[in-house]
Amino acid sequence: MRVLSSQSPDFANQLAALLAFDSVTDASVVQAVDDIIAQVRRDGDAAVLALTQQFDRHPATCMAQLQLSADALKQAFDGLDAKVKDALTLAAARIFDFHQRQVQHSWTYQDALGNTLGQQVTALDSVGIYVPGGLASYPSSVLMNAIPAKVAGVRRIVMVVPAPDGKLNPLVLAAAHVAGVDTVFTIGGAQAVAALAYGTASIARVDKITGPGNKYVAAAKRAVFGQVGIDMIAGPSEVLVYAEGVPTDRADWLAMDLLSQAEHDTVAQAIFVTTSQTLLDAVQREIERALATLPKADIARTATDHRGALILVRDRAEAVQVINQVAPEHLELSIDDPEAMATAIRHAGAIFMGRYTPEAIGDYCAGANHVLPTSGTARFSSPLGVYDFQKKSSIIHCTHDGAQLLARTADILAQHENLMAHALSARYRVDKQ
């Protein structure tokens, strides 16, 4: 893991190089995705089935074999070990409780002229959620995507999840049952995104697509945006951990918090920022110690070697500057007074406060959403939430008397924009003197 210091003359360039990452605009990926989307738009179900057979080695011979019934989802849940079932149910309940508090409601007010203005909030009709499959299958992603949609009042929730060799993690199906998913198709990749966006004979098109995936899924979501809504372009997982080297700091805890993200992907990013050289050295030693035993050590080592960093800063103010520049997906403030520091954090997907709030709890059962902006997009994006599954319509209701001043005003402004039909449309509402 590289070591950086804010006191280095070249620190700004070193930090910029560390943060530079973009796989979605890779020309070969974009071309491959465009070809797949074109096939699905042209051939519908036939293309989806053929591509699923090709990429996932799925044994299905027709689309019906790629769809799972509600009974299949319930059977998966019923077959869970009791402890696993309880854990899944508790996580779902906490996620539901958190997201209920995000629901936005319609509102109106009456202006001084007697007109009624406001906003009508409605849920989306249909949503497609993408869930990674195979070895990297995450039941937690099902809960985090489907439950906010359910809370928002979405009428139809379709889940797509690849099933390499026809095999599925039953926990993913159980999570779909708990979260109230309506339909599941065992398809993945760009072909699944295209099917959701444009529709096929078997898969009705949706209004929005959410959920993480590989670079092909990310590129496909970007390609279909505008045809449908999307949540975000999800990049590799990231964590930034900050600590100050006080006696209560545990280097082994901090090292494992970093590795908990590094084990996700060879291009995941784990960054440790500290004001203490002693703690930096200790965390570096603990990372090496843990990599000797972790099951996914090869993945984690590749990630930490290529995109990880241990950064020494002069003080908390410098740490805040680094954090806001990184705009991390996950930020851990492993300090005694995280509230005091958090007020200065402008850019982070989720902020984990104190030493007893590891990012891992947030991934599963804290209740807040774990679908978060990556690759610096926390500068302008927010975590997935109920608001992503609701939309707003403006309400304008003018009375006869209330329209008089507004119509005369619109008439004047329209004339100055050289839009005479606008002007006349407003003028017709003005009483003749």
Residue 277 is part of a domain; what is its CATH number?
3.40.50.1980
**Nearest of 261, 195, 197, 257 to residue 49 by alpha carbon:** 195
142 shares its domain with 260: no
* Position 20 in a domain: no
Structure tokens at 33: 């995705």
As given in the structure block, the two tokens for residue 275 are 């004001």
- Pair (193, 318) in one structural domain: no
Within-domain flag for 300: yes
- 280 and 247 part of one domain: yes
Domain stop point among 230, 259, 281: 230
207 token code pair: 């209004």
Name the domain boundary from 230, 258, 290: 230
State how many domains the chain has: 3
- Residue of 263, 286, 329, 359 marked catalytic: 329
* Residue 330 known to be catalytic: yes
**Residue linked to tokens 């590989």:** 214
The answer to whether residues 366 and 413 belong to one domain is no
Active-site residue, selected from the candidate residues 58, 177, 330, 370:
330
Angstrom CA distances, 286 to 238, 260, 279, stand at: 19, 13, 10
Question: Are 240 and 111 members of one domain?
Answer: no
Residue 355's φ and ψ, nearest 5 degrees, are -80, -15
Domain containing residue 194: 27-230
In a domain, 410, yes or no: yes
Residue 307, domain member (yes or no): yes
Is residue 138 located within the same domain as residue 73? yes
Contacts of 37 (CB under 8 A, 6+ apart): 190, 193, 194, 197, 198, 220, 223, 224
In this structure, are 77 and 50 located in the same domain? yes
CA angle 71, 75, 80 (to 5 degrees): 155
pLDDT in tens, 160-182: 999 999 999 999 999 999 999 99
Are both 226 and 242 inside the same structural domain?
Answer: no
| Residue where the block lists tokens 């991934």 | 363
71 vs 267: CA distance, rounded Å: 38
CA gap 153, 151 in Å, rounded: 5
Which mean pLDDT values do the consecutive 10-residue runs of the chain (433 residues) have? 96 95 79 97 98 96 96 96 97 98 98 98 98 80 98 98 93 97 97 98 98 92 97 92 97 98 94 98 98 97 97 98 98 97 98 97 97 95 97 98 98 98 98 85
Over residues 339-374, the pLDDT tens digits come to: 999 999 999 999 999 999 999 999 999 999 999 999
C-alpha distance across the termini of the chain, in Å = 80
Q: d(Cα 117, Cα 217) in Å, to the nearest integer?
A: 41
Residue 313 shares a structural domain with residue 247: yes
3-state SS, residue 315: coil
312 & 358 share domain: yes
Q: Are residues 104 and 189 in the same domain?
A: yes
Strand runs labelled E in 154-278: 156-160, 183-185, 208-210, 229-230, 238-243, 269-274
276 and 186 inside one domain:
no
Q: How many CA atoms lie within 13 A of 160 on its CB side?
A: 29
Told to judge if 332 belongs to the known catalytic residues of this protein, a careful annotator would answer: no
